[in-house]
Every structure is written in structure tokens, then in C-alpha cells.
Amino acid sequence: MPRIIRALIVDDSAFARKVVREILSTSPFIEVVGAARDGEEALQLAEELQPDIIVCDLVMPRMNGVEFVRRQLAIRPLPILIVSAAEENAVQVIEALNAGAIDVVQKPSALATDELRAIREELIEKLKAAVGAPLENLNRSIPAVVATLAAASRNQVDVIVLGISTGGPQALRRLVPQLPADLRVPMAIVLHMPVGYTALYAEKLNELCAVEVKEAAEGDLLVPGRVLLAPAGRHLVLRRTATGGVVAQLCMQPLDKLHRPSVDVLFRSAAEVFKSRVLAVVMTGMGDDGKEGAAWVKAQGGTVLTEAERSCVIYGMPRSVVEAGLSDSAVPLEEMAGAILTNL
């Protein structure tokens, strides 16, 4: 029988604390052991109650959620799941993730009971997945740029496509800054993140990188040294133009995918456009988005790398690819930049 997960709720709204408690209490495997009104009280309760996970708002008096994440992880690292309103708190959400929060669930802007309860399934699923995550992979310092491995390059890849989810914001902050400015191929990334955060995340990541990082816009040209991040809420598809270039196309279809953007959709389009000259990378995250796409890449003769289990926050997406026999190599996060460059 699965062990009971002990959760602490942190929110300055008494109504939000009540509804989140009710939501979590619907799971027989979650026990809400306490609730705090701000970061200062949360630090005290976390010390007293020793929870397995903390569900935390961001905008609070005395000590906000970002400062709480920093302070708590410095005292006793444990998974912190952010529950925050949409775009109005985008800066704080990105700061909290960069500080080591494990994931974010988007709180409805109108705090109606029914709307808050609508996030029940996502909240419980992410909470259960986050417990036991290797927290040392969430807030490590950013490594130096990896030297271009020109001598080792096989010149068999024309594009890098990457799919990532839970733990992704932190992993990308360690991976992408290692890529050199003279990266000879373009890169496209699907990161599962709520609507309203990807543009700011790309902007902040770009500040750390030698390559150019931007949220993909309709018609963006794929060029060497550019990294395009799929905008939350729309699929990123690669299309070859009449003049021979390859551009980003943003679309709502297909509608039957669990995630939008979908890793499967990006990978399939890359395989259709670039055939065997695709390097696909599947990294930390829940579920199996990327498995179907990896099959399309392999069917065209492309290469698939997966993140090794030991460095994943959630070993779900990479596991699905490995167990389907589609991974050419499993690589830990700290070696992934080098493996990508070697496979070019």
C-alpha cells in the first residue's frame, strides 16, 4: 500500500487554504498536516511538522513565496509545488522555479470554489509525482559553456528537438547555457508549462546563454545558434518553405493531445522535414509525451537521446522512450550538452 504523503499548504487566503485542503483530502494517500498564512509561518510549521511536500502560493505578506522557497531549500530541501494565479505573477513564478520549486499549477484568476476544484486532478497528480524527487537536481549552479566538439562532429544532424516537463525549467537552465554560440544547427524545445510563462522564461534563459533563446513566433526561421521554445497553449510544428528554409508554425491542432504544446507533435514534424538528420532528446517529466514522436524520429533513421534516471526529477517521459526500445543512449543531465554536441 502506498505511504501517506504529508502536505503543508501555504497561502494568505483563508478561502484558498480551505479549498486546497478539501482538494488534497479527496485523495486517500494525502494528509494535510498544516496550513500557513505566509512564508514566515510556513518555515516554522515545516520545521515542526516535517511535511513530505509543500503546496505554496507566491503573493503573501511578510515573506513571499519566492523568498520562502529559497529559505526552505537552504534549511531542509523538500519538494515545493507552486500554485499561483496566471500571468500577473509570471515573474515570481519563474523566480520560484529558478530558486528550486519543483513545478507550478495555475490557480484560476477568479477564486470560485468550482474553478479551484477544476485543478484537482493536476494538483494531486503533480503532488504525488513530486514526492521523492532528487532535489539536488533543481537548483544547482549553471555550468560553463561546453567547447564545440568540431572534431567529433559526424555532420549527420540538421536540427535538435527536445521535450521536457516536470523539472524542466531547472534542467534547461543547466543545459542550454552550455551550448556554444557557434552551434551549427537550430534547436526547438517543448517545455510543458502553463500558459502565460513561456515568453518570460525564454527571455530569462536567453540572458544566461551564448545561443539565442526566444519563444517561438509564427514564421520564425530555424537558423544555427537559435533555440525556439514552443509557446504554452499551442503546438510547435516545423515546416519547410518553398524557398527551402524551415520555419516555425504554431497551431491548435491536433486537439486530442494531453499537452499543448506536445513533444510528439514537434518530433513528428521534425522527422517529416529533416528525415534521418534529427537529434531528438527526451528529458525529465511525467507521462509519456515524446514516445510516439521518438518512434517517428527512429523510423526516419534519426537519433534519440534520453536523460538518465539518476538525474531526472521525474523519470516518466524518458522511461517511456527507453522501455519502448527507442533510446540510442541514456545520458545524465550534467553530460547531456556534451552528448548533444558529439552527436551532431
Known catalytic residue: 289?
yes
What CATH number is attached to the domain comprising 295?
A: 3.40.50.180
Which is the catalytic residue, given 165, 311, 320, 327?
A: 165
Do 154 and 182 have their domain in common? yes
- Establish if 318 belongs to a structural domain: yes
pLDDT for the residue numbered 195 = 87
Do 47 and 98 have their domain in common? yes
Do 110 and 21 have their domain in common? yes
Do 94 and 174 have their domain in common? no
User: CA-to-CA distance for 157 and 329, rounded, in angstroms?
Assistant: 16
Known catalytic residue: 192?
yes
Strand partners, 330: 306
Do 192 and 289 have their domain in common? yes
- Establish if 303 belongs to a structural domain: yes
Which is the catalytic residue, given 12, 103, 192, 264?
A: 192
**Looking at residue 300, what DSSP letter applies?**
T
Using an 8 Å Cβ cutoff, are 70 and 41 in contact? no
Do 226 and 112 have their domain in common? no
Do 171 and 114 have their domain in common? no
pLDDT for the residue numbered 151 = 46
pLDDT for the residue numbered 153 = 60
Give me the DSSP letters along 40-94: HHHHHHHHHH--SEEEE-S--SSS-HHHHHHHHHHHS---EEEEEESGGGHHHHH
Using an 8 Å Cβ cutoff, are 304 and 325 in contact? no
pTM to 2 decimal places: 0.91
Domain count of the fold of the chain? 2
Neighbours of 111 (CB within 10 A): 13
Using an 8 Å Cβ cutoff, are 263 and 163 in contact? yes
Backbone angles phi, psi at 141, to 5 degrees: -70, 160
Do 281 and 154 have their domain in common? yes
With 0-12 / 13-18 / 19 or more C-beta atoms within 10 angstroms meaning exposed / middle / buried, residue 40 is middle
- Establish if 139 belongs to a structural domain: no
- Establish if 144 belongs to a structural domain: no
What CATH number is attached to the domain comprising 21?
A: 3.40.50.2300
**Looking at residue 99, what DSSP letter applies?**
H
- Establish if 75 belongs to a structural domain: yes
Known catalytic residue: 165?
yes
User: CA-to-CA distance for 179 and 31, rounded, in angstroms?
Assistant: 43
Do 119 and 155 have their domain in common? no
User: CA-to-CA distance for 173 and 167, rounded, in angstroms?
Assistant: 10
Q: Which of residues 76, 102, 132 is at a domain's end?
A: 132
- Establish if 51 belongs to a structural domain: yes
- Establish if 270 belongs to a structural domain: yes
Q: Which of residues 100, 132, 164 is at a domain's end?
A: 132
- Establish if 215 belongs to a structural domain: yes
Do 100 and 51 have their domain in common? yes
Expressed as residue numbers, the domain containing 321 is 150-342
Do 208 and 79 have their domain in common? no
Query: Going residue by residue through the chain (344 aa), what tens digit of pLDDT does each one get?
Result: 568 999 999 999 898 899 899 999 999 999 999 999 999 999 999 999 999 999 999 988 889 999 999 999 999 999 999 998 765 678 899 999 989 899 998 876 655 556 666 688 888 989 988 887 777 666 556 666 665 554 456 688 999 999 999 999 999 999 999 999 999 999 999 999 988 899 999 999 999 999 999 999 999 999 999 999 999 999 999 999 999 999 999 999 888 888 999 999 999 999 999 999 999 999 999 999 999 999 999 999 999 999 999 999 999 999 999 999 999 999 999 999 999 999 99
Which is the catalytic residue, given 235, 289, 327, 328?
A: 289
Do 188 and 236 have their domain in common? yes
